[in-house]
Structure 1
Amino acid sequence: MNYQNLNIHTNGEFRFSLIEKPFKYSLFNGKDKSFYSIAYNKGQATTVLIDEVPYSFEEQMVLPLMANQTFSFQNPQDVLIWQFNREFYCISNHDAEVGCVGFLFHGSSGTPFVQLNEEERLKLARMIEVFKDEFETRDNIQTEMLLSLLKRLIIFVTRIAKIQFIDSSKIDDVRLYTIRHYNLLVEIHFRTHHDVGFYANELNKSPKTLSNLFSLYNHKSPQQVIHERLIVEARRLLYYTDKSVKEIAYELGFEDAAYFSNFFKKNMRVSPSDFKRNAMMAV
């Protein structure tokens, strides 16, 4: 099962597929386009590699993935995946909460695995049938209908994710917006700004206020969010490109390659040179 909708006026593209064999998405292979993805495992538990880190993808789980994440399913039994580019969905006038900068993709510095209960499974099953029907209906308003259905899907998963990952007694919508905005700013500026002070200034908050806010949300500090984003990108560049450690250090905003190497080793317990060597041997 493979469906596709193309908008020749905006270059928007929306795909809906059933994955039954090994599948990999990567912007580093020069073939895949930039897509946001939402995967749903309605079959047996399997393993998903996200930036070459293995995670258990359990039955009845939904997994939102950002466009810059490399991921693969090794032995999928019954995984459905929705994929869309910015031109299809993100340029629409959606509320930020359910847009491409919304909670699913920027609400957490980690990747949320959203578990469905039986009632939610049935709701999603009905939604999937509507998606199939609409992809098979070819007319001049199909794109608008698919946009509405995609927004409905994102709202559906967002509501469940917020219940599972947010303590509403501690984090209200205003605080959650600040956290989400912080994560988005880090995604935009992590290569050039490694200090919390920059982001605090952008948000008109003090660094201490941000630290207190993040302590309510999870165990990561604002500085940890920056460091983890740098490490993720360093791992990607070391694993998927031929760039030298020195080139990667400069690309990530480190003026001193030695300082970058120490930073990487402190977080990964292996030097970037050894990491790259091991990655090359694993390919």
Structure 2
Amino acid sequence: MTSQFKQFSFKKIGLSTITAGMLDQLTQQNLREFIKVIFLRKGSRIQIDFKQYELAQDAIFFITEGQYYQLGETGTDGLLLYYNRDFYCVALHDKEVSCDGILFHNVYDIPVVYLDEERSAQIQSYLKEIASEFNAEDTTAEEMLRILLKQIIIRSTRIWKEANQAPAPESGDSKQEMEFARKFSQLVEWNYTTKHGVAEYAELLNLTPKALHKRIARYSTQTPNDIIKNRILLEAKRLLVHTSLTVKEIGYKLGYDDPAYFVRFFTNQASVSPQHFRKDYQLTGEVS
């Protein structure tokens, strides 16, 4: 199996083996419209946005449409599963394992789940079943693919919560707090270009800024203000590196009408000006 793809009306899903010869086809540019689930074996390398991962054990990554990633050119081995929101995006039920769930948008900003041997074998067995379903001509193939994808997401969500000391699901209060953190993350994702202050998000959640800070602090080392500012900064860095927009245009795109204010914000957060960040990245391919 090198690359497989199925389309059911508007619903699309694909699976590719990650090899040196396939890297040009598995770029962010070619798969921009898809959500990605990337299983990588020990020794593989990947960069997601501006963070490098060199794996000492097997791992699985969950990448949204807007995230940038680059697979290591040598020694990287695994599978890349991709699908669009029409294929799988639980909106009304099972929010925790939806395409906007814990693995894709969370206050911890962790897109990776590390796997021990037993759990890695389990995830690989699901991926193997998915590969087999691509060859099935049965009318139930679409639903079976969706079920297997959901199993991967559910299993990975459980591992992620365990590893990141998330609240136990048995506790009603804890489960409610986890859903609250997810909802806050989602609100930031939807509104960071227009709402930059904690008070604006607190109002959306019918809380005071102090109460919002207290609830987020229970399960995150970041404050609500950190989370909002970091999301704006991440998008600014993406636009500086991956587009030819001017600094002024990027500021406008992110909701800053005053270009000078945006430059001050970026410089304070990144300890380097937007112009120097872009120049340094173009020269080295690394974040200064």
Query: Structures share a fold, TM > 0.5?
Result: yes
Name the counterpart of 1:63: 61
| Residue correspondence of structure 1 range 1-283 to structure 2 within 5 A | 1-8=2-9, 11-21=10-20, 22=23, 25-26=27-28, 29=29, 31-42=30-41, 44-74=42-72, 75-90=74-89, 94-168=93-167, 172-282=174-284
Q: Give the 3 Å change call, closer, same or farther, for CA 77–147 of structure 1 in structure 2.
A: same
Tell me how far 1:108 sits from its aligned partner.
Answer: 3.2
Tell me the TM-score normalised to structure 2 length. Answer: 0.89
For structure 1, list consecutive stretches of 5 or more residues without a partner in the other structure.
Answer: none
The 1:62/1:166 distance shift into structure 2, 3 A limit, reads same
Q: Is the 8 A contact 2:59 2:115 kept in 1?
A: yes
Task: Tell me if the contact between 1:65 and 1:111 (Cα under 8 Å) persists in the aligned partners.
Answer: no
Contact 1:109–1:183 (CA under 8 A) maintained in structure 2: no
Task: Specify the SS of the correspondent of 1:14.
Answer: strand
Query: Deviation of residue 249 (structure 1)?
Result: 0.8
In structure 1, distance between residues paired with 2:113 and 2:257: 39
- Residue 6 of structure 1 aligns with an amino acid whose one-letter code is Q
Task: Give the % identical residues.
Answer: 30
- In the alignment, structure 2 segments of 5+ residues that lack a partner are none
| Number of residue pairs the alignment of both structures matches | 277
TM-score by length of 1: 0.91
- Give the deviation of 1:234 after TM superposition: 0.3
Amino acid paired to 1:7: F
* SS of residue paired to 1:247: helix
Q: CA deviation at 1:4?
A: 1.1
Compute the RMSD of aligned alpha carbons: 2.0
Q: CA deviation at 1:33?
A: 3.6
Q: How far has the Cα of 1:245 moved from its partner?
A: 0.6
Residues 188 and 127 of structure 1, relative CA distance in 2, 3 Å threshold: same
> Deviation string for 1:149-180 (max 9, x for gaps)?
11111111111111111342797110111110
Residue 15 and residue 205 in structure 1: after superposition, are their counterparts in 2 closer, same or farther (change >3 A)?
same
